[in-house]
Amino acid sequence: MTRQRIAIYGGSFDPFHLGHLVPTVRAQETFFFDAVYFVPAGRPPHKGAESLTSVTDRLSMVAMATLPYEAFFASDVEVFREGPSFTVDTVRDFQARFPEANLYFILGSDSFSQIESWAKWRELVDLVHLVVLHREHIWGEELKAMVPEELYDRMCLVSPFEKVPDPEQRTIYLLNHEPFPISGTSIRERERRGIPIRELVPHEVYSYIQKYGLYRHRKDR
């Protein structure tokens, strides 16, 4: 019997934008995930909590943006967690929920380049397959030079739509899709300055941002 493939995509999603959505669609088309759970971070240890939009707004934007996609879901697993949100704890939560599934964790290449600074990162890469999305500013040999050498033999470059079998060893897949050059920081700054963002976010997210006036008067530190 084929095991389910469940993917977890954790991030601040402030806001959720097409740079999150479009590459995840490419990952879905390649790995045929049975479900992808987008997990807005409650209190990410790498970011000051005061600099984030409220987690309820971020969760709402993710829920609205993923509604048209049958296999995409918003997860509140980190929303009510006390203290900092560590990825390894989130993965363990999903392990308990899907004990028979093959778990994958999706992250950008910019985040993967900092993997050595993550809490219990060795435990994390032994628990779950990683799917690394192509961020325009860091890829290839530059990315490889920034991660621990002990991970090199686990790293595997795959192309969109390539057939990917279930491996025995936990694998780090580098998904070589065309990058989508946009960031949450630039979207927030554009909105603050009154520059159009409609083409950079799902229409549901755009409507939410406009209705509640998110980012209009905020200046990121």
Within 10 Å of residue 86's Cβ, how many Cβ atoms? 20
Please report whether residue 186 resides in a domain.
no
Please report whether residue 174 resides in a domain.
yes
Domain range enclosing 108? 5-180
CATH number for the domain spanning 155: value is 3.40.50.620
Number of structural domains, the chain? 1
The bridge status of strand 172-175 relative to strand 72-74 is unpaired
Measured CA to CA, the distance from residue 214 to residue 210 in angstroms comes to: 7
Q: Is the pTM of this model over 0.85?
A: yes
Tokens of 56: 């309820």
Closest CA to 12 of 103, 110, 97: 110
The pLDDT tens digits for 120-171 are 999 999 999 999 999 988 999 999 999 999 999 999 999 999 999 888 899 9
Closest CA to 113 of 140, 92, 75, 90: 140
Please report whether residue 194 resides in a domain.
no
The pLDDT tens digits for 47-84 are 554 578 999 999 999 999 999 999 999 999 998 787 77
Please report whether residue 210 resides in a domain.
no
Please report whether residue 48 resides in a domain.
yes
pLDDT of residue 137: 87
Please report whether residue 220 resides in a domain.
no
Please report whether residue 19 resides in a domain.
yes
Please report whether residue 80 resides in a domain.
yes
Q: Which long-range contacts (CB under 8 A, 24 or more apart) does 100-103 make?
A: 100/3, 100/4, 101/3, 101/4, 101/5, 101/6, 101/34, 102/3, 102/4, 102/5, 102/6, 102/129, 102/166, 103/6, 103/7, 103/8, 103/127, 103/128, 103/129
